Structure formats: C-alpha cells, structure tokens
Amino acid sequence: MRCPKCHSLKSSVVDSRQAEDGNTIRRRRSCDQCGQRFTTYERIEEKTLVVVKKDGTREQFSREKIFNGIIRSAQKRPVSTNAIDEVVNRIEQKVRAQSDGEVESDVIGNLVMEELVELDEITYVRFASVYRSFKDVGELENLLKQMISKGSRVKTGNDHEAK
C-alpha cells in the first residue's frame, strides 16, 4: 500500500479489525520508509447489478430508488426509516443472491410488495396501487378483498399490530 506522505510502496500492517458494518476491514499501517501511520479499508467488491425494465432498457440497481418509493408509500404512516432500511437491505440481499448480474424490475417490485405486506398494510396498498397501475377502483377493491380473505395481521414500523 502506498504511503500518503512519502509515496513508498512498502508498509506493514500494525492492527487489523472489522469495521462496524461487518463488510469492511480497517487496517492501521506504518510506512517502512518514513514511519508515517495511516489507515486503509478493505471491502468486498460487489458486482454491478443491472435492472432490466419492462420496456427492455437497462439501468444500474439503485437502493435509493427502492427506499424513496417505500418512503413515498409510507408517508404519514407509523413506519420508521430504520424499518424501511431493513426492508431495503433484505431486498438487496435477495436480489443479489438470486441474480447473476441482471434482474427483472418485476422481481424487485414483487419483493418490495412481499416485504410491505408484512410491514404495514396501508403502505402496501399505496405501493401496490402505483406499482400495479390500477386502472379503476375495482382493481383496488379486489386487492383489498384478497388481503381480507387472507386475514393478514401486520406489524408497523412502531411494532403495533393492525388488522
């Protein structure tokens, strides 16, 4: 590792430990030439994940798009940003585990809906109405009937239960 002070390529690792996220290793180094101490981080290089849209176009996977879509659906609902973050983490893990570099946008949308139905029913209905592009109230009514027939009990971001 190149020293930031003298630019020597020879350094020794003094201390090595896992960073708080568990996906990074923090290393304290000492330059063998000038003695300067510096810190480096080692991370897993994640392969680029590409989302194939319904119209065939491709774009890079974005956690932020999923997060923002859920935030919009959860407005004025008792759903914490931590709960949404956990949902997005689970979705990303599932997508990365299931794909070989490309994933259909439908797969991501369905994973979001699976997570939201467990998180908060109203957030789920709001997201579903946009994601499924309901054409009339009848389609929304059918979704609600399906939810009622399944007798879903869900938890919200504040750990309250609703029926």
Q: How far apart are CA 112 and CA 132, in angstroms?
A: 12
Report the alpha-carbon distance of residue 24 to residue 44 in Å, rounded.
7
pLDDT digit string, tens, across residues 47-104: 889 999 999 999 999 999 999 999 999 999 999 998 999 999 899 989 988 888 899 9
Q: Look up residue 100 and give its DSSP letter.
A: S
Reported as a pLDDT band with limits 50, 70 and 90, residue 158 is: very low
The stretches of the chain forming alpha helices (DSSP H) are 63-73, 81-98, 105-119, 121-131, 137-150
